[in-house]
């Protein structure tokens, strides 16, 4: 059974991945960022189990949903001919991540979490996004993201 502590650890791993991708980009450019992002996707997301239901914050049109790893990699690193509108969400100089839980649901080897993620960049600017993550344990018992929905808070 998945625990609340595992959900927290999964969010921390997700945030640490974004920080690592940003630092890799700053230190080694696009190729280093792609290598780090690929390792992050392999470690955290469930592409080894099938399509991941990923709706990035800043995606639109026919490329709104990213169900394969190539689409997620393009969103995180940018610099992709197949996804020309992607600026590289994970190469924005992130330095830390905090999460605030609105609710979570756990049943056996599947869980869902909803809340806010705040990412702080190297200049101290904070970007807060609404997030929903769905998780499932794979055959080895590793908790994987299988659903990732992100949006900017509604501004009436």
Element (H, E) at 110: strand 110-121
CA 16 to the chain's CA centroid:
10
Q: What is the pLDDT of residue 42?
A: 97
- Over residues 53-74, the mean pLDDT reads 94
* Residue 71: band (very low, low, confident or very high) from pLDDT cuts 50, 70, 90: very high
Summarize pLDDT for 109-141 with one digit per residue, the tens. 999 999 999 999 999 999 999 999 999 999 999
Average pLDDT, the chain: 96
Name the pairing type of β-strands 126-137 and 110-121: antiparallel
Residue 144 tokens, joined: 């994987």
d(CA 93, CA 41): 18
């Amino acid at each position: 059974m998945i625990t609340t502590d595992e959900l927290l650890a999964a969010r921390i791993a997700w945030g640490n991945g974004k920080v690592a991708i940003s630092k890799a980009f700053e230190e080694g450019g696009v190729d280093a960022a792609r290598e780090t992002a690929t390792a992050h996707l392999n470690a955290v997301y469930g592409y080894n189990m099938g399509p991941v239901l990923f709706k990035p914050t800043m995606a639109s049109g026919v490329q709104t949903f990213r169900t394969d790893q190539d689409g997620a990699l393009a969103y995180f690193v940018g610099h992709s001919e197949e996804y020309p509108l992607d600026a590289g969400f994970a190469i924005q100089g992130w330095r830390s991540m905090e999460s605030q839980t609105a609710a979570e649901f756990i049943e056996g080897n599947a869980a869902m979490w909803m809340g806010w993620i705040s990412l702080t960049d190297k200049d101290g600017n904070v970007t807060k996004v609404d997030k929903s993550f769905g998780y499932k344990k794979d055959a080895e018992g590793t908790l994987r993201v299988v659903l990732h929905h992100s949006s900017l808070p509604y501004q009436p």
